[in-house]
Structures are given as structure tokens and as C-alpha cells.
Structure 1
Amino acid sequence: MRVRERLCVELGSMRRDWDRWCVRRGLTIGEGARQLVAAALRADAGNGDPGIDANVRWSAVGDPRSRIELRLTFTELEVIGLRAEASGLTANRWIVALIRAHLTHEPQLGAREMRLLSDSNLQLASIGRWLGQLVRSGDIRPTAQDGNGDIEAIRGAIDAHLRVVAAVMRANLDRWSR
């Protein structure tokens, strides 16, 4: 018989704030706590910033669920566990993401991919601010053919952003279409 690992925490007056925190991020109460613990363990292991994957919507909060039972061999379950861990997911979440990817043909991004896309979007926002400054200062002329370094730097930054997003999406499609 499998033993479920659980942690019970008395939140007291913090419970309503915790509920709101999870709802704002589209997380269940348990998933929010699991992500906090996982982030703390990653930080303790020296893997850098203990960032919480707050933008990940694993599931729609409040939607009804149905439980099914899967019969897997020990080896299959072990491989699923390894793949799930590599994606920053639990085995159950990985299986759900696999099924949803095949049913919806939409990306099911893991923690690493969400972090990469978030970083990429921050860079794109920075590019937008940079363009705004250039336009306001009058230093940029989009039609100029004089080898304007600003335009080439912007083009390079946008190309880098596109490469990051394309690589993340390609990796996601490769993972779920096997």
C-alpha cells in the first residue's frame, strides 16, 4: 500500500490571505503550498532564486474533477516520475498535462518553460521601453538607411526573444507529441 506524504499546517488568521494568494495565481491551495516547498528546497540545494511559478495555471480553480485509476508497471511509474521531475511537475500533474496536450493541442508548460517565457517577456518589455525612449528623443528614424546602430540593436534583441520563445514551444511540442 502506498503511503501518501502530507503536511498539515495551522494557518489561523492567515488562511483567508492564503486563499486569495492562491486564487490570484490560479492555483489550488495544495498546489500553492507544494510550489512554495519546492521553491524553498531548490533554493536550499543551491539552485538559485526560490522563485514561485505564480503564472502557471495547472488547473482551473473550482472546476469539478473526476478521478480515474491507471494501472502502470513499477518501471513505467518510475519513468513518469523522472520525466515529471525534469519538467518541474509531480507525476500526477505530468500525466494530466500529457492528456490535456493531446486533447486540446495547446501547450502544457512546465516550471522551466514558464520561467524562460517570463524572462523573454521581460526582455521584450525592456525593448518596448527602449523603443519608446528612442521615438520620444527623435533619435530613431525607421526609414533611415544610414546604418543606425539603434535599429540593429533592437532587431537583434527581438530576434533573440523570438528564438527563445520558438525553442520553448518546440521543446514543449516535442515532449508531448512523442
Structure 2
Amino acid sequence: MLETLARHRFFLRFTTKNLTDEQAAARTTVSALTLGGLIRHVALTERRWMDFVVRGADAFVNGFSEREAEFSLADGETLADALARYEEVARRTEEIVAGIPDLGTGHPLPEAPWFEPGASWSARRVLLHLIAETSQHAGHADIIRESLDGARTMG
């Protein structure tokens, strides 16, 4: 699973190759999504879900209220900053997963309207979610990049 996640991270990061900070922050579609914002969001999402794997639902103690701000680079943040943070998150994920004796071990999910009440996710299920999330956003990023400068990064 880590190999698959790494492959999708590569595709997402590749969409930002040779971009300026201004290009990484540019909206190119009717969506508010930007390439830099997608990198930031996926890094924060992966970090939060791995916190869940380590300590359970309290990883979401702040709820999901900050989610909207995740989709853009913070003031003063560069694309290089976001990519470096994403690399750190990836390394941490790999370290955490390597230390889990049973990927079937899990925790109850936090209360949220999109989770089934009383449901639990295993570390394995979290990794599958991260693969899907990263893959989906790599596709979004490919469209944004093509709209930005015509570059086709995934096909």
C-alpha cells in the first residue's frame, strides 16, 4: 500500500514541476482549487489521518472547521514550503506504518455527518482512504496544470 501511495504522491507533486509560486497559487478553473493548495491540503489530510492511526479520534479534536483554509497556500507560504512539508508527512507516514504490527488495528471514527455512526477504521482502511484522496487530487491537479499552461502531467 505504501508503494501505491508513493506513486500517487509522485503524480501529484509532478503537476507542480517548474512552477512559480504565483502559478501554484493561480486559479485556472471555476473551482477555487490551486496546485499549491492541493499540495497543502493533501499533506494536512495525510498528517491528520496518520495522527488518527496513532492516537484515535482525538486527532480530529478541532473538527473539520479549518478544512476550507487548507485548499490554498497560507500567507507567506511558498510552493517549496508546501512540497517540503508534504515530503516530511510522507516520511512520517512510512515510519508509522512500518511500526504497526497489525494494519487491521483501528479506532472509532469521530462523529461527523459523513461517517457512519459508531464506525471504526483500521490503519489499512486509512491507507486506502489516503490512496484514494491523493489519486483524486492528482487528477484535479492535472486538470488545473493543463488549464494553467497546457502541460499534461498524467497522460
TM-score by length of 1: 0.28
Greater C-alpha Rg: 1
Higher relative contact order (CA 8 A, sep 6+): 2
TM-score (norm 2): 0.31
